Amino acid sequence: MDRAIRAVRNGSAIKRAAQQFHVPYPESLWDKLKQGPSNSRLGRKTILSSEEERAIAEYIKLLAKSFYGISSTELRRACFEYVEVNNIRHPFNTEKKIAGRDWYYGFLKRNSDITVRTPEPISLNRINAFNKTEVNLFFSNLEIVYEKFKFGPEKIDNVNETGITTVHVPGKILAGKGLRRCGAITRTNSDSNYIPPLFIYPRQRLPGHFSKDGPLGSIYKCSKSGWITEDIFLEWLEHFTKFIRCDSDNPVLLVMDKDISHTSYKVYKFCKAHVIVVVSLPPHTSHRLQPLDFTFFSPLKTAYNNECSTYLKTNTFAKILQEDIAMLFARSYNRVATIEKAVKGFQCTGIYPLNKNIFADEEFSILEDNLNQTEPSTPNETITEIPGNEQIDNVENPIVPSTSGTSKSTTKLRITESDSSTSDDLVEVSDEEDFTSDKTLILKTSFSDIYPLPAKKQ
C-alpha cells in the first residue's frame, strides 16, 4: 500500500498503481489517498496509543537509571492495572490480572529502544553514594591541592587493596565464601609507575618461603584476618617512601579509600612528616573513582585465574597452597602491570588530567534528583592530610539529605474506546478486534502512579 501511494504521488495513475502493487482499487487505495499523508502504522491498532506507549517506555528507562528496573511480569501486571484504572477497553486476562505476552512482545517491537538486559549487581550503598554532590566535592578537593602544590603526573599516586584466594574457579574471577585468602595491596601513579605490592596472609606467623618467586621488591606481612591493619598500612607507607621521593620540596598526592586503617592519627603524623597529601575517595564510590579498581584489578584477577588453571594442568592432583600465591601472583602481575593500564585508570576516573565532567548526568544516582538539598547533615572531612607545616582548610562534605516522597502527576493522553464488547477470558488481541475509536478521554492516573519510583526514607 505504501509503495502504491508513493507511485501515485510520483505521477502514476491510480488504477495502474493498484494493479502493479496488488492493492484493492478503488476502495482502499483511493481512501488512503483522500486521507492524505499519515504517520499511523499499518496493521491492527494497539490497545494503548503510541503516545501512551512512548510515555511508558521513557518511564521504564527512568526506572532502570534509578536502579529499580521493572521486569517483564511486573510491566504486564502494571499495564493491566493501568488500563483497568483508566477504563480502557482491553482483552487482557481479568482472572490473572496481567497483560498478555503478545502485547508485551509487540510493545518491545514498537519501542525498539527498550530491551531485556541482565542488571549488573551494585550495592545500594554504592548507588546512593555515587551522586553529583559527593563526586563534585571530591573533584573540588583535587582541584584545591592541584592548584596549591602543582602536582605533576609523577607525583600523583593511587593505592588500594584486593583479595586473592587459593581456591581456583575455572572461567570466573576468583571469589569465595569462607575461602582461605591473601590480601594484596598495590599502588600506581599517573606517570605509569608501580610500587611492588604488599602481601598480607591470614596467619599469626609468616614462614620465609611464602615470599618465594614473588614480585621483585614486594614485602610480606600477616594479620589474623588477612586484611590490612593500621600498623601494616604504616609499614606500607614506609615501603612507599623508599620508592617515591617525598619531602618539603617534593610533596606527593595519594588518592585512596577512607578506610579506618588509612586515616588513623599515626598515619596522619607519618604523612605530615613526609609531606604526603592524602585526598580520600567518597565512601562506596571506588567502582567509579578508584583507578586501580577501574582498570587494573579485574584483568589482574583474570590473569591470576589463568595462571591457576595452568598450574593445575601441569601439576596433576596438586593443590594451590598459600606458599604458591606469591609465585602465581607474580606471573600475572608482571603481565598486567602495564603503562597503558596505569595511565588509563587515572584518565577514566578524571583524576589526571583533572576532568570534573568525566561522568555524564545519567551516570549519577537518579534518586538524587528528588532530594531536598536545603538541610545539610554531618560534615565529613575528605582531605585528610596536612603537608609540611601549612594547614589546608578542611573541606566539609555534606551527606545528601533524604528525599521527599515521589510526586504524582496527572497525564493527559488521547485514548479511544470501542463500542464492541470484550470477553473477560480472552487473553490476547485478535487481528480482527479494534479497541479504538474517535472518543477522547482524559486519563487521571499515569503509569508512574501505578508503578511509582521508590523514594528514599526521611
The answer to whether residue 420 is domain-embedded is: yes
Higher pLDDT, 412 or 90: 90
User: Where is average pLDDT lowest: 208-222, 330-344, 392-406?
Assistant: 392-406
Tens digit of pLDDT for each residue in 99-142?
A: 988 888 888 888 888 877 655 545 445 555 577 888 888 899 99
Tens digit of pLDDT for each residue in 161-175?
A: 888 887 765 544 333
- In the predicted structure, residue 6 carries a pLDDT above the cut 60: yes
3-state secondary structure of 93: strand
What pairing do the DSSP bridges indicate for beta strands 219-223 and 252-256? unpaired
Last residue of a domain, one of 321, 352, 370: 370
- In the predicted structure, residue 406 carries a pLDDT above the cut 50: no
Same domain flag for 148 and 227: yes
Same domain flag for 294 and 430: no
The answer to whether residue 44 is domain-embedded is: no
The answer to whether residue 42 is domain-embedded is: no
Boundaries of domain holding 276? 132-370
Determine how many CB atoms are found less than 10 A away from the CB of residue 228. Answer: 21
Contact 328, 199 (CB under 8 A): no
Residue 393 has what pLDDT?
A: 47
Whole-prediction pTM value? 0.56
3-state secondary structure of 33: helix
Q: How far is the C-alpha of 146 from the C-alpha of 106, rounded, in Å?
A: 54
- What is the share, in percent, of the chain residues with pLDDT greater than 70? 68
Cα 273–Cα 279–Cα 280 angle in degrees, nearest 5: 120
Tens digit of pLDDT for each residue in 318-331?
A: 888 999 999 999 99
Same domain flag for 193 and 252: yes
Same domain flag for 219 and 86: no
**What is the residue-wise DSSP string for 354-385?**
T-TT-S-GGGS-GGGGGB-TTS-------B--
Last residue of a domain, one of 323, 355, 370: 370
Same domain flag for 445 and 305: no
* CATH code of the domain containing 161: 3.30.420.10
Contact 344, 295 (CB under 8 A): yes
| Alpha-carbon distances, residue 227 vs 183, 221, 293, 327, 384 (angstroms) | 6, 10, 17, 20, 22
User: Where is average pLDDT lowest: 19-28, 52-61, 118-127, 407-416?
Assistant: 407-416
The answer to whether residue 375 is domain-embedded is: no
The answer to whether residue 78 is domain-embedded is: yes
Residue 119 has what pLDDT?
A: 53
User: Where is average pLDDT lowest: 138-152, 288-302, 382-396?
Assistant: 382-396
Which H or E run contains 327? helix 322-336
Sheet-wide strand order for 194-202: 219-223, 194-202, 181-189, 156-165, 252-256, 276-280
Same domain flag for 421 and 334: no
What pairing do the DSSP bridges indicate for beta strands 252-256 and 276-280? parallel
Same domain flag for 101 and 148: no
3-state secondary structure of 201: strand
The dihedral built from the CA positions of residue 416, 420, 424 and 426, taken in this order, carries a sign that is negative
Contact 53, 110 (CB under 8 A): yes
Q: How far is the C-alpha of 259 from the C-alpha of 272, rounded, in Å?
A: 18
Closest CA to 296 of 213, 185, 199: 185
Q: How far is the C-alpha of 83 from the C-alpha of 71, rounded, in Å?
A: 18
Residue 219 has what pLDDT?
A: 94
Same domain flag for 83 and 144: no
The answer to whether residue 394 is domain-embedded is: no
User: Where is average pLDDT lowest: 48-57, 63-72, 73-82, 188-197?
Assistant: 63-72
The answer to whether residue 344 is domain-embedded is: yes
Contact 166, 320 (CB under 8 A): yes
Same domain flag for 192 and 253: yes
Same domain flag for 213 and 292: yes
Q: How far is the C-alpha of 128 from the C-alpha of 285, rounded, in Å?
A: 9
Number of structural domains found in the chain: 3
- What is the share, in percent, of the chain residues with pLDDT greater than 90? 25
Residue 238 has what pLDDT?
A: 94
The answer to whether residue 401 is domain-embedded is: no
Question: How many CA atoms lie within 13 Å of 294's alpha carbon, on the beta-carbon side?
Answer: 21
Same domain flag for 166 and 93: no
Higher pLDDT, 21 or 436: 21
Confidence of residue 303 (pLDDT cuts 50, 70, 90): very high
Same domain flag for 272 and 304: yes
